[in-house]
Structure 1
């Protein structure tokens, strides 16, 4: 139990339904959807689309999503991959001929075809109770009437605004400046797009005037995108992958998501006695950092489009974890692995919803970097993602850019099961940090006995690139200890990610937490 003398928040406990996400208006929208008779899928989709208006630098209908969900009356976990493919006319060789060694992060080159909208329409049709019009109504209202900018959103807007193109500045700035906390942000063009989707379904986005607006914007920026690329966009159901840790089962999306990285990290950490090290000790941070280096280096060589990912079994085997874990020395940091070719960043949203019938949804939705590619479609202001920056240009690599291919994706929703029953939908935002964040949340809960809110609140560390990022919640003694072991210790400019989780308790109650690093909350009824 937390110290009530200290600032903080308690876990939220409810009986009927629950939502946890990064913006309070979105959480309230999800709960209102449940109370109006919608199920967890209706609520998650309604709030997710709204988050594209509330946190436009993080996500939007020009992006991708991944979803794990448990239908009511079942303990099976299903998965939908709503990530987009490279346009048919793309070419890694052409980018190499331009002297590029990596896919750019801005402009038309990194724009893969946004597939979240197709995923949302499919999930609504297959699993929702409400009409698509009812689901999208809150986002349309806020896009028309405006939504107050929250403090963390304002911080991110100011940081990311320089990435916007001319049309992006026109649609997302107010009087030429990033919106400040408390200012009202409107997106009337997106409201019009969403109205077309309510009338025409996914074709209202992927064909006709809206698709033409996106393609014309991309072609004007030098892109090879076509109307056929958009018309052919399609999300698909897939089968989650799973692994065991301390008596629980972790379920993640298969590649092209990199949830397998969290599984490999946990397999490595299972060789160490974490509880004996202490929650915020240098030993625990060191071991986790070393496991991350080894797991992420493996990821960079394995994870790709599922049609090109051939060594997943090797990555998830305990033999691999044993060999990697044996490389960890407690008194000395391993060298940082070679930088991955694909660009990694920290912008996305996560939402989880559980309803009274115990349908559980774990949904993550992103445009990748802040404001995506920086390009917003000229007429409607749809921010176009830069997920193609997740490809490598290394010839012959499984994740090499190619037509119709999906890139390595950093966004990963998670789900836990215990004894065959779903225990917790969860997610931890933060780009490359996400597998490490999944690992940290799980070990906080199951090795250190924290409640769900405490587990999200606790300070974080991350071996990222050539640095070891240590949040300010760690002591100076721990920083000095880690530096002495060879870690290049820095305090990150922004905190490491954000996260949300809902526990389905054995007594039938719901227990949720939401990360204080974001503006959001958990709400139930």
Structure 2
């Protein structure tokens, strides 16, 4: 499949050197897979074209960007179960035009109240392991997405929730054609997840197989769940028959979620935090997510002239990768549920701390990297975005974690439970150590950019640890290298892997330098020079995230949209 990238070995790298930072034959500008999408009234960008159309339809019927985002997210839970669904969590940022303010929502769930650390450790011992597994009952935490929808709707929504969920209900009952890349990931998930407790095969396969590209897929059980939510609100999910059914199933199958976990769940409105970078301010949500890693990277990178270094040159990539290494060691040590461990966020994202961390970057790749002391300066996921005629913008990300999640499906409900609990550390001294009723470290992060105190870009780059790296690459591509919204997403990407993780022991640190994966568009000359600097470099197979973006053109009063060329999605407006 062309979107999954052909694997290019380093020995063949010279063959693709000329592909890097390609230029259009007519304009001479940097390459984009297509033009930016421009519309005067409204815009939506999602990873599935049918979901994009649903968002636009909602806004054409008088709904706002918030209504459209909820409707599209519900549709994506049906159409892209490989990345999200109501068994997972949600984060969002909303630019509210009337109040001219950016709001942040943390709608992530918590671990079971009845599963103590010692009980979990004993369960892991029975499995012969000391880390939380990716599938089955143990990594399941309370799904926060549904409550997130209703928090967004109660604060900013316009249309009734029954109207908002109706398109997804109709597609769930009547069926939809499965798109290409989603079919590929669906096929990869079925062999593993079919073995988990519950109804996965009945709910998510056709005669035991994943639906192929173009096949019509229906999910009547999910339609019924959506109908109950539309009729009786969030309490149908957290305090009604759905919660009772889940409790009963968990007790019968060795799970730990209970009715009380659902009844006690709440989302939190949080203040986004921002860092200025060359006249633009990138906004992220504070931990338990990893968004501030992008802000830490920017505070380090503003000490260098990336524009002068050039796009995807050995020097610019060296600086970007080294900044990522430094930020991610702090990510591993400090990012956790703020109700349990207060991270020194102000210090972590401060300009002074970034300046001190930048001094650690030399001309050669760092092999050992430790977390810093920010207290001294203390003062598989979907991403989608919508914008409406009034100027409201929504940056929303939602995930099951690891594609289709835990694999656990309660019969009759039509959705997979997330496995986000895998992201806890089992080191009791770690800030991210497992505890009952605690939110695990999260990778999913929405992003937002303002300029001169005005809303500019709502965007995201879904995909695990790639996300903060992707956020920085998009912003740098536009600010330092002058790319437009679509070019910034199409440009060849890189990612650094191998840093210490928030699931590791509290005394662990990066000691071998990790390695860089680059897309085939990165010149071999750049890869070779990076190796001379001590970096381990590979040409990787996919894994570079999924980008969607909407930008406000204030001068012309129009919306500009861009969508990930590596996925099935679409940016469209009217």
Superposition TM-score tier, normalisation by shorter sequence: over 0.9
Partner residue in 2 for 1:273: 305
Measured after TM superposition, the shift of residue 2 of structure 1 is: 6.1
Q: Secondary structure at the match of 1:327?
A: coil
Match of 2:24 in 1: 3
Structure 2 counterpart of 1:410:
443
Distance across 1 between alignment mates of 2:48 and 2:162: 22
Partner of 1:379: 412
Deviations, residues 216-266 of structure 1 (Å, cap 9, x unaligned): 333344222111111222112111111111111111111111111000001
The residue number in structure 1 matching 2:112 is: 87
Partner of 1:33: 58
Change (3 A) 1:449 1:516: same
| Structure 1 residue 488: Cα displacement | 2.3
Aligned positions of 1:183-202 closer than 5 A: 183-202=215-234
Distance in 1 between residues matched to 2:370 and 2:539, nearest whole Å = 20
For the residues of structure 2 that align with 1:160 and 1:478, how far apart are their CA atoms? 35
1:514 and 2:535 matched: no
Pair 220,494 (structure 1): closer, same or farther in 2 beyond 3 Å? farther
Give TM-score scaled by structure 2 length: 0.87
- Aligned counterpart, 1:159: 188
1:355-411: CA deviation from partner (whole Å, max 9, x where unpaired): 000011111111011211111112223200011112111112111111111111111
**One of 257, 265, 269 as aligned partner of 1:233:** 265
> Matched residues in 1 for 2:434 and 2:354: separation?
29
Residues in 2 aligned to 1:103 and 1:483: alpha-carbon distance in whole angstroms: 35
Alpha-carbon distance, 1:89 to partner: 1.1
**Structure 2 residue 432 is the aligned partner of structure 1 residue 399:** yes
Equivalent in 44, 48, 52 of residue 19 of structure 1: 44
Contact 1:214 1:382 (8 Å CA) reproduced: no
| Matched residue, 1:46 | 71
Q: What is the distance in 2 between the residues matched to 1:16 and 1:180?
A: 36
Partner of 2:402: 369
Unpaired runs of at least 5, structure 2: 1-21, 372-379, 499-513
Counterpart of 1:289? 321
Alpha-carbon separation, structure 2, partners of 1:322 and 1:96? 41
Q: Which residue of 2 aligns with 1:434?
A: 467
Residue aligning to 1:477: 525
Q: Spell out the pairing of 1:285-364 with structure 2 (5 A cutoff).
A: 285-307=317-339, 308-335=341-368, 347-364=380-397
Q: Does the CA-based 8 Å contact 1:269-1:287 persist in structure 2?
A: yes
CA offset at residue 487 of structure 1? 2.2
| 1:51-70 → structure 2 map (5 Å cutoff) | 51-70=76-95
1:279-314 residue CA offsets vs partner (Å, 9 max, x unmatched): 121222221111111101101111110121232222
Measure the CA separation in 1 of the matches of 2:314 and 2:178: 38
Q: CA deviation at 1:323?
A: 2.3
Measure the CA separation in 2 of the matches of 1:317 and 1:124.
34
CA distance in 2, matches of 1:139, 1:337: 47
